[in-house]
A = this chain, B = another copy of it.
C-alpha cells in the first residue's frame, strides 16, 4: 500500500524552511508497512494544490495533507481538497461553538476569521484537535483515505498518533518492515554497486538503496514481510552474500558511524588514541570527540598547521621537512610517531595533505594525502589522492584515517 504526503504553505517554499512533518509521517507509515512514494510541498495556491491532490488520489491509497487549515485567507487546504474531490464545504455550528469556548478559556475573544475553521468537507469525519484550533478531517474517496492534518508539528503528531494511526492500521494488510544498514569504508560507490548488484538485483523485496558520502557508503536493505521473523530471515538471506563480497570493508551492521565503531574497539582493547592533524586542522579530533564518552580512549592531539608546529609540538625533524616536504610519507610517519611519543597513547593517527584550493606544487596536487598510524611496533603510512573540494578532501582523509585504525584493531597483522 502506498502513501503520498503533501505539505501546504508558501513558507515551506522559502530557502529557510523544510517540511519536517513528512519525516514523522513517513516513519509512522513505514511502521505499518506503508511506503511513501512521493512528497510534495505546495504553496498557498488553490488551483495548484487541487491539481496536486487530484494526481495523488489517482495513484495512491493514502494521501496526507499537512497545513493550510488555519483561519486566514491563505489557508486554502479545505477549499482545494473540496475542488479536487468535488465536495462542498459545510459550516458546523458546533465546531464554531467549541472554538469560541476555547478562546474564552484563554480569556480572548475569537476573531471572526476563525469561523473558517468550522467548515468541513461533505462526508468528512472530523478529527478533534486538542492542541490547536484547526480540526483535522478524514475523507474516504473510492478506497483512498485523504487526511487533512494541521501544520504545527505538535498538533499533527498528536492527532496522527491518537486518531489516524489506529484507523490506518485496520485498513492496511498486516505486514512488517525491517531495515538493515551495512556501512562500508574505502570503496567508491560504483565499484561497490558493480560488486553487489548481482546479489541484490535478484530481489525486489528487500529493496536496496545505496547512499554514498566521502569514503563512506551505506547499503540500506528494507524487507517487507508478514512477520518480523520472516523479515529478519529475508534480510539475512540477502545481507549474507553481500557481506561476504564486501568482506572487511563492512565496518558496521547497525548503521553506526565509523567513529563509534572505532571508539568501541578501542574501549574493548583498553587502548588509547592520539591524533596529529595538518590538513584536517582538528576535524579528526572533532569527529572522534563527537561521541559521548570518547574521553575513555581519546587523549587528545596536535594540530600542526605550520612546519614550526610540526617540529616543536611533534618533534618532526627539520631535515625531514626540508628533504621531503610537509606533505610526504616521511612527515606523516614522523607526525604519528611524535604524537604517540608525546601523548603516551597506544595509537596515534596523523594526516598531512593538500586540502586545496591551492596546490602544494607539482609534487603535491590538491587532494594528495598521507595518513600515518603509529603503534608500539612502529608506523605505517598510506598515500591517497582524493578528489573534490576542501571539505570533501578533508572528510575523505578523516574517514580513511579512522578506517586504517579500525583495520589495525580488527585484523591483527595488518
Contacts and interface: CB of A to CB of B under 8 A. Distances in A.
Interface of A: 10-16, 18-20, 23-24, 26-27, 30, 35-43, 45, 48, 51-52, 55, 59, 70-74, 105-108, 110-114, 131, 133, 152, 154, 158, 188-191, 193-194, 197, 201, 207, 209-212, 220, 274-275, 277-278, 280-290, 292-295, 298-306, 308-309, 312-313, 342-344, 355-358, 385, 387-392, 394
Copies in the complex: 2
A63 B385 CA distance: 36
Contacts of A133: 190
Given A39-B40, A154-B389, A292-B356, A23 B15 contact: yes
Most interface-central of A10, A275, A300 (chain B CB within 10 A): A300
Contacts of A278: 300
A contacts with B: majority SS = mixed
B302 A306 contact: no
B15 A190 contact: no
B289 A286 contact: no
B30 A37 contact: no
Contacts of A308: 299, 343-344
Contacts of A358: 292-293
Contact of A40 (B38, B105, B112): B38
Contact of A112 (B36, B188, B194, B201): B194
Nearest to A385: B106
Given A305-B299, A308-B344, A211 B313 contact: no
B301 A194 contact: no
Contacts of A342: 312-313
Contact of A37 (B18, B43, B302): B43
A390 to B, nearest CB: 6
B209 A10 contact: yes
A364 to B, nearest CB: 14
A38 B42 contact: yes
Nearest to A389: B154
B42 A13 contact: no
